[in-house]
Amino acid sequence: PQGGEMGMGGMGNQHMDHDDVAALDSSSGDNELNIPPVLKSDSTEETKYTVRAKMGETEIFDGTKTQTYGYNGDFLGPVLQFEKGETVTINLINELDVGTTFHWHGLKIPGEADGGPHNVIEPGEEDTIKFEVTQEAATLWFHPHPDGDTSEQVYKGLAGLIYIEDENIKELDLPDDYGKNDFPLIFQDRTFDEDKQLNYDAVMNEDGTVGDVSLINGTVNPKLTVGQEKVRLRLLNGSNARNYTFKMNTGDTFAQIATDGGLLNEPVEMEELTLTPSERAEIVIDFSKIDDERDVALVNDSDDILLPFEVTDEAAAEIDIPDKMNQFSVTEAEKDLPVTKEVELFGMMDMVTINGKKFDPERIDFTQERGVTEVWEIYNKPDMMGGMIHPFHIHGAQFKTLSRDGEAPPRNERGWKDTISVSPDETVRLAVQFNDKGVYMFHCHILEHEDNGMMGQIKVE
Ligand code: C2O
Ligand code: CU
Ligand code: CU
């Protein structure tokens, strides 16, 4: 089990039982939440960004500097905005002292620009990618993906967000005033040593590294000041391994409006919501309906306080979240398709495999034709210790969840997804289609499992 004294050599040899993960310290609410900057285009005529991976120093705790990594800054990264239909150019610069890649998680992008383990940029080198944005409005993210070194680089701070906009979302009445009633929340858990440093090697766990310190957008002990209005929160589980279950400490419900890859057809009222690593969800909390005499906070399933809210009496124009937001559907033809790809997730620690094999950059595991939908069946095979949830992710695509153990997925999963949690002994069926050609990864998004080879490759032709 997790917790207790940490010996030399860290926790690398302890199996991560997810029912028994170290508790998170509750936020004292001392610090106003950091809101990431929105990256400006290098050009007024076209969307052109420069993204630099760099080393930095960040005052996470008052009076001490923590060595961190960041994109275009010391820690984490800016928000990149794309518009459906436009062509985007990104100049990628590696200012780290190790090789890295720039992976666009959830983006439909040609394989050579996807930033998988084959696209390493060496220290001091740069590269340029150019692609067309073909998918609908969504909140995606970007992070490094070098073979065997993803977990450490993300742990040190390499992660940023991508917002895609389209015509549909601009017409809808949704909270969309960035930093006012529309906030990104990147949830991560970390362990700091006595000198308040992130010593990855000392705390690394082969089964997924967790920490006791909760950071949101890199802020420790955060609070968020909001008005008495509907507020949209774009949640990203950006942790290496921890599952987060979100709920309100008041017992109030919230509305989920989006999944990983786009808006749900209609808002889904939720009492709680679980996101496994790399999953996103957008939720709307109506602070005009919550009794502001009480302390309002977003908490996890152990009632640890993640984000306390300070509700001002500022009231804003009433926003009516529309009942019809999108046109997502699973067709009869898709429901009738036979299973043509089988994926078996198995193992723990450094013995994790997919279909009995570990990642081999020289081996192509599957092929699929672009534009053709295939049904992938993902099975999480339990082991002697019962097994654990694996968040299964596919690059270069957004998929539809057809079923969980033969049943229709819950209402809040009836939307585009790129990562799906698969519980021990559970079978999940996905309808998967790729837009572009290239070699793409599919893997468990517990980053240490990914680095330990719980990853395969599909060649799209
Ligand atoms: Cu979030 Cu292989 O990626
Ligand atoms: Cu990805
Ligand atoms: Cu896993």
Q: Whose CA is nearest to atom 1 of ligand 1?
A: 105
pLDDT at residue 18 in the model: 54
Fold exhibited by the domain 33-167: Immunoglobulin-like (2.60.40)
List, in sequence order, every residue forming a beta bridge with 91; answer none if it has no partner.
Answer: 50, 128
Which CATH number is correct for 182-315, 3.30.450.20, 1.10.760.10, 2.102.10.10, 2.60.40.420? 2.60.40.420
Determine the atom of ligand 1 nearest the C-alpha atom of 443: 2
CA 420 to ligand 3 centroid distance, Å = 12
Q: Nearest Cα to 447, choosing from 122, 86, 172, 188?
A: 188
pLDDT at residue 442 in the model: 99
Architecture of domain 332-460: Sandwich (2.60)
Structure tokens at 314: 């500022």
- Give the ligand whose atoms come closest to the C-alpha of residue 114: 2
Global ipTM? 0.99
Q: Where are the domains of the chain?
A: 33-167, 182-315, 332-460
The reply to whether ligand 1 has any atom less than 6 angstroms from the CB of 103 is yes
User: Do 216 and 164 touch, CB atoms closer than 8 A?
Assistant: no
Whole-angstrom distance, CA of residue 374 vs CA of residue 371: 10
Alpha helix positions (H), 179-299: 200-203
Q: Whose CA is nearest to atom 3 of ligand 1?
A: 105
Whole-angstrom distance, CA of residue 310 vs CA of residue 225: 5
pLDDT at residue 317 in the model: 84
Placement of tokens 């490759």 in the chain: 457
Integer-rounded Cα Rg, in Å, for the chain is 21
DSSP state of 449: H
CA 16 to ligand 3 centroid distance, Å = 10
- Give the ligand whose atoms come closest to the C-alpha of residue 15: 3
- Give the ligand whose atoms come closest to the C-alpha of residue 206: 3
Residues that place a CB less than 5 A from ion ligand 3:
390, 444, 446, 449
- SS3 (DSSP) at 153: helix
**Residue 390, Cβ neighbours under 10 Å: how many?**
29
CA 395 to ligand 1 centroid distance, Å = 7
User: Do 430 and 402 touch, CB atoms closer than 8 A?
Assistant: yes
Q: Matching CATH topology for 182-315 and 332-460?
A: yes
Whole-angstrom distance, CA of residue 131 vs CA of residue 113: 8
pLDDT at residue 20 in the model: 64
Whole-angstrom distance, CA of residue 33 vs CA of residue 218: 8
The reply to whether ligand 1 has any atom less than 6 angstroms from the CB of 280 is no
The reply to whether ligand 1 has any atom less than 6 angstroms from the CB of 441 is yes
The reply to whether ligand 1 has any atom less than 6 angstroms from the CB of 153 is no
CA 104 to ligand 2 centroid distance, Å = 6
Mind listing the pLDDT tens digit of every residue in the chain (461 residues)? 333 344 444 567 677 665 567 789 999 999 999 999 999 999 999 999 999 999 999 999 999 999 999 999 999 999 999 999 999 999 999 999 999 999 999 999 999 999 999 999 999 999 999 999 999 999 999 999 999 999 999 999 999 999 999 999 999 999 999 999 999 999 999 999 999 999 999 999 999 999 999 999 999 999 999 999 999 999 999 999 999 999 999 999 999 999 999 999 999 999 999 999 999 999 999 999 887 666 899 999 999 999 999 999 887 888 999 999 999 999 999 999 999 999 999 999 999 999 999 999 999 999 999 999 999 999 999 998 899 999 999 999 999 999 999 999 999 999 999 999 999 999 999 999 999 999 999 999 999 999 999 999 999 99
With 0-12 / 13-18 / 19 or more C-beta atoms within 10 angstroms meaning exposed / middle / buried, residue 97 is: exposed
CA 277 to ligand 1 centroid distance, Å = 10
Whole-angstrom distance, CA of residue 413 vs CA of residue 425: 19
